[in-house]
């Protein structure tokens, strides 16, 4: 390893924050004010501070936009609800027209109630359903969002990540709707319920029930997230195989 003559790099952490909005998988975007791609939508993110690593920078940037504090752990699970994990690093020399910027991208999963669009500016921070992203994003952020969606889709199969989309207490049908929204395919309710409740550590039962909706129906039981982070055996998508990581 040489230790001189290396060119100047800027390093950023960019976050693909995801949640369910009105039952649709959505990502958080911010409208750029400054020069390159001014007016375009982009991922929240920013430069690493001198004393912080990329995990901390991602958590900080996410907190600045959503008001939520997620402490990333080894497997991405956070102390409370939510999830924050590294996705991959994008380093194409031309990805920022100003200079050499290497971006460490993250995926965050937030429970739906936390959709608070507090943070910095008001109408310049918005959730977009991923299926509605038919306009170009700044930099290579469209590609990053695509990679993040594919990561999340694939991780629902063999981890308990779906619970990160839910509030601390949730029902089995709510969890099922997470799978249906992310995978875009219906899932058999009875079999899903059995699978989830019989997989040790996925969910833990409480003795509470959510009140039935105004449309009627049996009040569903409430569950909390279990201690397991992997799902074994996995919950495989029926049809097409997933793309590799």
Partner DNA sequence: GCAAAAGTGTTCGAAATACACCCATGC
Partner DNA sequence: GCATGGGTGTATTTCGAACACTTTTGC
> Using an 8 Å Cβ cutoff, are 218 and 209 in contact?
no
198 lies in the site for a second copy, by CB under 8 A: no
Is 11 or 187 the residue whose CB approaches a second copy more closely?
Answer: 11
| Binding positions for DNA, rule: CB under 7 A | 171-173, 188-191, 193-195, 197, 209, 211-221, 233, 236, 238
39 part of the interface to a second copy, by CB under 8 A:
no
Ramachandran assignment for 243, one of left (phi > 0), alpha (psi -120 to 50 degrees), beta (any other): beta
The CA distance from 170 to 163, in Å, is 8
Binding mask 216-245 for a second copy (x = CB under 8 A): -------------xxxxxx-x----xxxxx
CB 194 within 8 A of CB 211: no
Sheet with 24-31: strands ordered across? 41-42, 24-31, 125-129
Q: Give, in order, the Cα–Cα distances in Å from 115 to each of 60, 66, 153.
A: 17, 7, 21
Q: Give the x-and-dash track for 16-35 against a second copy (CB under 8 A).
A: ----------------x-xx
Q: Which of a second copy, DNA, none does 245 bind, CB closer than 5 to 8 A by kind? A: a second copy
What does the CA dihedral 86, 13, 136, 239 come to, rounded to 10 degrees? 0
**Closer by beta carbon to DNA, 117 or else 180:** 180
Q: Of the candidates 34, 35, 60, which has an alpha carbon nearest to the alpha carbon of residue 49?
A: 60
Tell me, residue by residue from 113 to 132, as one string, x for binding to a second copy by CB under 8 A and - for no binding: --------------------
Which residues, 6+ apart, have CB-to-CB distance to 67 below 8 Å? 116, 118, 119
Q: What's the closest the beta carbon of residue 105 comes to DNA, in angstroms?
A: 31
Q: Interface residues with a second copy (CB under 8 A)?
A: 1-3, 6-12, 32, 34-35, 45-55, 75-76, 85-86, 88-89, 91-93, 98-100, 102, 104, 155, 158-159, 229-234, 236, 241-245
């Amino acid at each position: 390893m040489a230790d001189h003559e290396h060119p100047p790099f800027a390093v950023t952490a960019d976050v693909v924050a995801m949640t369910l909005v009105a039952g649709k998988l959505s990502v958080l975007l911010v409208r750029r004010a400054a020069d390159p791609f001014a007016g375009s939508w982009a991922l929240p993110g920013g430069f690493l501070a001198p004393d912080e690593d990329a995990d901390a920078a991602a958590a900080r940037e996410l907190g600045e936009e959503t008001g939520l504090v997620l402490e990333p752990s080894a497997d991405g699970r956070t102390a409370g609800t939510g999830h924050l994990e590294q996705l991959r690093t994008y380093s194409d020399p031309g990805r920022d027209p100003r200079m050499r910027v290497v971006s460490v991208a993250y995926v965050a999963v937030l429970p739906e109630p936390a959709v608070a669009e507090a943070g910095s500016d008001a109408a310049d921070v918005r959730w977009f359903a991923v299926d509605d992203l038919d306009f170009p994003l700044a930099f290579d952020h469209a590609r990053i969002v695509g990679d993040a969606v594919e990561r999340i889709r694939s991780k629902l199969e063999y981890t308990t990540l779906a619970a990160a989309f839910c509030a601390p207490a949730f029902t089995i049908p709510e969890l099922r709707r997470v799978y249906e929204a992310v995978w875009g395919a219906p899932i058999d309710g009875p079999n899903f319920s059995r699978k989830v409740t019989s997989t040790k550590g996925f969910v833990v039962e409480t003795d509470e029930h959510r009140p039935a909706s105004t449309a009627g129906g049996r009040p569903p039981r409430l569950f909390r997230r279990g201690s397991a982070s992997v799902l074994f055996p996995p919950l495989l998508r029926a049809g097409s195989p997933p793309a590799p990581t």
